[in-house]
Amino acid sequence: MKRVVNTFLQLFDYLPQHVVLIAATNHSHMIDSALIRRFDTKLKLDLPNQSQIKKLIYKTLGAGSFSLDEKNTLEEIVKSAEGLSYYSIQRTLINAIKSSLFDLEKKTTHLNPTIKTDYWLDLIEEEKEQQSISS
């Protein structure tokens, strides 16, 4: 790991002045402080709040014809998704849509695009477990 860090440090030192380098991480505490010092500006992006989660869900679904199966309300899902990143929330939604479509395909020949909220909540919980393991 030391070699990788040293290689990065050397590469940073040889970057021309007109180059803009943008990097992102969810684990800044794991990055060598010498590497972090090479960045002039640091931004901290907070996790989305409930309002932002709703907006993300609506944007992800867009003008699509998907609806929730009403087993769980959108409010329940939004509360459950708190603490996850935008990416994680969107990924769980997309995976819930895929799982719902695969399940629907097995049961019927007509397409009624309904998102199975049980799938989605399970995916959210799995994502939270994965994040707690990797933290």
48: which DSSP letter? Answer: P
CATH number of 50-134: 1.10.8
Say how many C-beta atoms besides its own lie within 10 A of residue 4's C-beta.
10
As given in the structure block, the two tokens for residue 73 are 């309300």
For range 67-80, the mean pLDDT: 89
For range 37-62, the mean pLDDT: 91
Residue 49 in this model has a pLDDT that exceeds 80: yes
Select the more confidently predicted residue: 133 or 95: 95
- CA 35 – CA 32 distance, rounded (Å): 5
- CA 108 – CA 97 distance, rounded (Å): 16
What's the pLDDT at 95?
Answer: 93
For range 44-65, the mean pLDDT: 90
What's the pLDDT at 38?
Answer: 85
Domain ranges of the chain: 2-36, 50-134
SS (H, E, C) 64-104: CCCEECCCCCHHHHHHHHCCCCHHHHHHHHHHHHHHHHHHH
What's the pLDDT at 65?
Answer: 73
DSSP E strands, the chain: 67-68, 114-115
For range 78-98, the mean pLDDT: 94
- CA 101 – CA 61 distance, rounded (Å): 14
- CA 15 – CA 11 distance, rounded (Å): 6
The partner residues of 68 in beta bridges, in order of sequence, read: 115
pTM: 0.70
